[in-house]
């Protein structure tokens, strides 16, 4: 029987710096109002001026925001912050800071490139943030935007009403379909006593993951392996398996926006119903979980298909600040004999 867990409707975990982070209220409100009005010959001096101008250009060009930012103001603030070498949390407090000419030219070039190529902004600057941490990204990997990062913060330990596991007790973690390695890195930080195995079928993706692991100083705790799901970790068992696998169904694949077509197709395509890989993960997870372990998996809009395929599964659906029923948890005991 499926059930949903939420604290007061949704998790209260901080979203500062996450891959889906909204811009702070004041900059968003001011820039949004100015962007709608527009200006034919804007005088660009401060960070606020550039955010306003960039948001206006993006809005008028009808670009799609699906890669960690949710609207033109958020994306404009992200790009301006990168040009100014500011963390996303620093953009709003520095809104009145004057932008040097070189940084201004960089911002304007990125905006025009974003519009002309429809490449995600993260690819233009080779950076994306999750849970406040920066990660290198390029066209070899999907732009990271998983809800699992928030759940690692909000549902493991602490005073949470729903504590899945005490983080101190986790010693072995597996991240399937690691892509850029962001979730493996977040898991290593969340579980200080754990070593993390991170696998992916794509050698290109693992090259990006290796760079991120190295830049975060976690080479001694994260091991990368190439292979098809569990094939890369035969015989190993884990306290926690996490995965944000491809889960876009056939209808979704047919309607992907131009921005998403720049990303690796294999990172999206989940088959007709979107659950081809999710099925394989569920069917084999039990043999790779230690007693008391569990599987944490993101499935997008595929909840109905999962519940139809596994009507007896005791799935716990976890809400986050910006999602409802897109991530499930099931423990090792619940996986016993569950193969569809």
Max Cα-Cα span within the chain: 66
Q: For residue 340, is it within any domain? A: no
Same domain (yes/no): 308, 246: yes
Same domain (yes/no): 60, 137: no
Q: For residue 68, is it within any domain? A: yes
Same domain (yes/no): 254, 135: yes
Question: How many whole angstroms separate alpha carbon 73 and alpha carbon 63?
Answer: 12
Q: Using the 3D structure, point to which of 125, 154, 180 is the last residue of a domain.
A: 125
Categorize the per-residue pLDDT at 61 as very low, low, confident or very high, splitting at 50, 70 and 90: very high
Q: How many domains, in total, are found in the chain? A: 2
Same domain (yes/no): 9, 44: no
Per-residue pLDDT reduced to its tens digit, 234-286: 989 999 999 999 999 999 999 999 999 999 999 999 999 999 999 999 999 99
Same domain (yes/no): 31, 148: no
Question: How many whole angstroms separate alpha carbon 104 and alpha carbon 72?
Answer: 18
Contact predicate 31/48, CB 8 Å: yes
Q: What are the DSSP E strand ranges found in the chain?
A: 3-5, 128-130, 133-135, 172-176, 195-200, 222-226, 238-243, 289-298, 316-320, 323-331
At residue 157, the pLDDT reads 74
Q: For residue 99, is it within any domain? A: yes
Mean pLDDT calculated for residue range 91-113: 95
Phi, psi of 87 (to 5 degrees): -65, 150
Same domain (yes/no): 138, 167: yes
Write down the mean pLDDT value for the chain: 87
Q: Using the 3D structure, point to which of 125, 152, 186 is the last residue of a domain.
A: 125
Categorize the per-residue pLDDT at 321 as very low, low, confident or very high, splitting at 50, 70 and 90: confident
Q: For residue 18, is it within any domain? A: no
Contact predicate 187/194, CB 8 Å: yes
Range of the domain at 96: 25-125
Question: How many whole angstroms separate alpha carbon 38 and alpha carbon 18?
Answer: 29
Contact predicate 21/129, CB 8 Å: yes
At residue 149, the pLDDT reads 94
CA angle 77, 133, 292 (to 5 degrees): 135
Question: How many whole angstroms separate alpha carbon 224 and alpha carbon 323?
Answer: 29
Q: Using the 3D structure, point to which of 71, 96, 125 is the last residue of a domain.
A: 125
Question: How many whole angstroms separate alpha carbon 108 and alpha carbon 113?
Answer: 9
The residue among 259, 322, 252, 323 whose CA lies nearest residue 58 is: 259
């Amino acid at each position: 029987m499926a059930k949903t867990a939420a604290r007061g409707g949704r998790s209260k975990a901080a979203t500062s710096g996450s891959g889906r982070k909204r811009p702070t209220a004041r900059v968003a409100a001011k820039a949004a109002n100015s962007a709608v009005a527009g200006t034919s010959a804007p005088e660009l001096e401060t960070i606020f001026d550039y955010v306003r101008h960039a948001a206006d250009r993006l809005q008028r060009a009808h670009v799609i925001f699906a890669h960690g930012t949710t609207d033109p103001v958020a994306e404009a603030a992200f790009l301006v912050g990168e040009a100014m070498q500011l963390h996303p949390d620093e953009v709003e407090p520095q809104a009145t800071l004057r932008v040097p000419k070189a940084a201004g030219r960089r911002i304007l070039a990125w905006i025009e490139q974003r519009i002309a190529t429809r490449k995600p902004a993260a690819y233009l600057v080779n950076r994306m943030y999750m849970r406040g941490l920066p990660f290198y990204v390029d066209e070899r990997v999907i732009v990271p935007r998983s809800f699992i990062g928030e759940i690692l913060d909000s549902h493991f330990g602490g005073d949470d009403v729903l504590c899945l596991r005490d983080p101190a007790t986790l010693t072995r973690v597996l991240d399937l379909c690691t892509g850029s390695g962001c979730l493996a890195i977040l898991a290593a930080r969340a579980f200080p006593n754990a070593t993390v195995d991170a696998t992916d079928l794509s050698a290109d993706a693992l090259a990006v993951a290796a760079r991120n692991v190295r830049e975060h100083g976690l080479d001694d705790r994260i091991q990368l392996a190439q292979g098809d799901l569990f094939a890369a970790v035969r015989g190993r068992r884990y306290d926690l398996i996490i995965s944000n696998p491809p889960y876009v169904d056939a209808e979704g694949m047919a309607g992907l926006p131009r921005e998403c077509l720049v990303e690796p197709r294999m990172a999206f395509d989940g088959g007709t119903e979107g659950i081809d890989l999710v099925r394989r993960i569920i069917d084999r997870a039990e043999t790779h979980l230690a007693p008391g372990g569990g599987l944490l998996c993101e499935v997008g809009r595929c909840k109905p298909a999962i519940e139809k395929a596994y009507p007896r599964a005791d799935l716990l659906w976890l809400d986050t600040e910006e999602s409802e029923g897109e991530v499930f948890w099931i423990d090792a005991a619940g996986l016993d004999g569950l193969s569809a």
